[in-house]
Chain A
Amino acid sequence: MSNSVLSVRNAVKRYGPVRALDDVSLEIGDGEFLTLLGPSGSGKTTLLTAIAGFTELDSGSLSLRGTDITGQTPDKRNFGMVFQGYALFPNMTVAGNIAFPLKVRKWNSSDINTRVAECLALVQMEKYADRLPSQLSGGQQQRVALARALSFRPSVLLLDEPLSALDKKLRADLQWELKDLHRQLGVTFIYVTHDQDEALSMSDRIVILKDGSIQQIGGPGELYNAPRTPFVADFLGKSNFIEAEVTGGAPGAVQCAAGGESFTVASAAAPATGSRRKLALRPERVRIGAPGAEAFTGQVRQLSYLGERAHVIVTHPGLGEILVSCPTWKAGITPEPGLGVSFGWDSDACVFLEDA
């Protein structure tokens, strides 16, 4: 990446037998909103704290705009950080917390006052300047932690699951606010979450971690539409998996056979004829219709109504169970369990996965 601010090269961190980071390399672009996404224990916090300087790497290096910072202490790195539990200093007021990074940088008091007021305004907490952290709600504490981390205008802001402690509604509001802040300030955000929806809705790029190693990096659309491994396909949204045999065709129209059916996959790369490959198929790409309307015939096994969408499980003698997600207003039919239906998908709906 040409405008990379931060690069992580071959980072390794072991805790006894556990490889919390297993050869992680990553370039982070200037002003980017980068999300580290993975299940609990996948090494997200370890990577973030290694970047912040709290976790010492066993091997590998970190550099900031070309300067090596691997051995630098956290206070010298000049990154803002929002901790998982916020870590607001309980002995200082909201204003005191926000002023703390400025005081340790020996700013004069009038500059401090101006900046603290600006930061309070930025997160709409002007009225709470003199409260103690214990007198604030979770969402308010979150805002103060954010203001504190931004008060000294760091070029990189690190956030470790900043919204995970909040309820759903508040989380959605704060997601918007965080995105706005990111756009407004142009600061590079490195954001840790285990929530795939949060990652998809907020990020410029997402890094998917599993067992300490990077599974795939890409934009939300790219990862969602073209997952490389079964893990990514399953972790970001839901997927149907089909074991298929490549029977012929060419790039753009690969012929496949699975479960006694044959179909075409519009894939740019054509796997060798005769090879067995795993395909991922998003439930919302599967169409369902009256018998005969679509290519394959199956039977509805289960239906669950989710408000704006419905999930239907269709069984097919060869393909097994296929999950279909359709808008409820478009379904046209009421797929009662036991009902015979037809289903099918466009040739670009299936994606070849790597074996992993």
Chain B
Amino acid sequence: MTPGLLTDRHRYWLLILPALAVMIIFYIWPLVNILGISVTEPEPGLGNYALLAESRPIQTSFIITFRVAAITTVFCLVLGYIVSYAIYNASKRGVGLMVALVLLPFWISVLIRSFSWIVLLGRSGLVNDALMGMGLIDRPLRLMHNEFGVLIAMVHVMLPFAVLPIMANMKGIDRSFVNAARGLGASEWTAFWQVYFPQTKPGVLSAALLVFVLSLGFYITPALLGGGRVLMISEYITYQIQEFLKWGTGTMLSVTLLVATGVVILAAARFVNLRRAFLERG
């Protein structure tokens, strides 16, 4: 190795040093502290972690969290796939506009988007008013403060995260594959299912992982639309710390969620090229 190369390398380290420092001071260090608190508060030991096996509410919260994340993922994949497919098979002029519409929600805060759903789904919200006005129902439906409401808003918030990886994947697939299949005698469905769909699997798996992992730790939307009745784990943690000042339980749950998420990602790594899923966005 020449000395010149060495100094080059050092210079690159200097470039990332500020970011690294910020990460260590504001992210890694607090995380270590959280881990520390979870095994020291209120008394040293693994008492907090024993709650995972003992506490009914904690178990329920984890089940709800995984269930909501899973259902959200399934709906986002189906809707996201259809949207992406439509975008790439629409006329060329429409593509830009449709991609812009997919990205538009990113410019509006999640808080606002979630509140909008409250306006729509509330007891005297737009949907209920309209349905009653049309005489289809005579009492307002319970559209929120339950898992149904949370799911609607979650799917809405997460949809772009499903569309983007699938779209990036579809962009790379040449039209000629489907044409070739058709020319060789395949029906439209067979050409899609046996030739097109298999090539979009990496995008679908990336989308699934991204949406599922983001959903696991999501706070604002479930908190607002669940109205305290759909306690996903992030909200549960907030309660422990803010209302009951149980730092031990709260931090233990945080660590557990982190580990659970890590396990999901590691398991997914067997099927998904993580580098491509998270780093190389098309």
Contacts and interface: CB of A to CB of B under 8 A. Distances in A.
Interface string B135-152: 000000000000000000
Interface in B20-34: none
Interface stretch (B64-72, B120-128, B159-167, B184-192): B184-192
Interface string B163-204: 000000000001011011111111100100011001100000
B177 A75 contact: no
Contact of B180 (A73, A83, A91): A83
Contacts, number: 62
Contact of A104 (B176, B177, B190): B190
A81 B185 contact: no
A54 interface: yes
Contact of A87 (B180, B186, B187): B180
A104 B184 contact: yes
Contact of B185 (A54, A85, A90, A152): A152
B176 A73 contact: no
Contact of A85 (B176, B186, B190, B195): B176
Interface residues of B, number: 17
Nearest to A89: B195
A260 B182 CA distance: 62
Residue with the greatest number of chain A CB neighbours at <10 A, chosen from B185, B190, B194, B199: B185
Residue with the greatest number of chain B CB neighbours at <10 A, chosen from A73, A74, A79, A83: A74
Contacts of B187: 75, 104
A105 B185 CA distance: 7
Contacts of A84: 176
B183 A79 contact: yes
Nearest to A96: B194
Contacts of B186: 75, 100-101, 104
Contacts of A10: none
Given A89-B195, A104-B187, A75 B182 contact: yes
A67 B177 CA distance: 28
A90 B177 CA distance: 9
A294 B183 CA distance: 58
B182 A87 contact: no
Contacts of A79: 183
B179 to A, nearest CB: 5
B174 A75 contact: no
Interface in A139-195: 148-149, 152
Interface in B83-127: none
Interface string A101-116: 1001100000000000
A85 B174 contact: yes
Contacts of B181: 89, 100, 104
Contacts of A100: 181, 184, 186, 194
Contacts of A89: 177, 180-181, 195
A78 interface: yes
B199 A91 contact: yes
Given A104-B185, A104-B186, A81 B180 contact: yes
A91 to B, nearest CB: 4
A79 B179 CA distance: 12
A53 B184 CA distance: 12
Interface string A15-36: 0000000000000000000000
B183 A81 contact: yes
B236 to A, nearest CB: 43
Nearest to A149: B184
Contact of B183 (A74, A85, A90, A91): A74
Nearest to A54: B179
A242 to B, nearest CB: 46
A78 B176 CA distance: 17
B177 A87 contact: yes
Nearest to B176: A87
Contact of A83 (B176, B190, B194, B199): B176
Given A87-B177, A91-B199, A104-B187, 9 more contacts: A54-B182, A74-B183, A77-B183, A80-B183, A81-B180, A87-B180, A89-B177, A89-B180, A152-B185
8 contacts: A74-B183, A75-B182, A80-B183, A87-B177, A90-B177, A100-B186, A104-B181, A148-B184
> Lowest 5 CB-CB distances: which A-B pairs, in order?
A87-B180, A101-B184, A91-B198, A87-B176, A81-B183
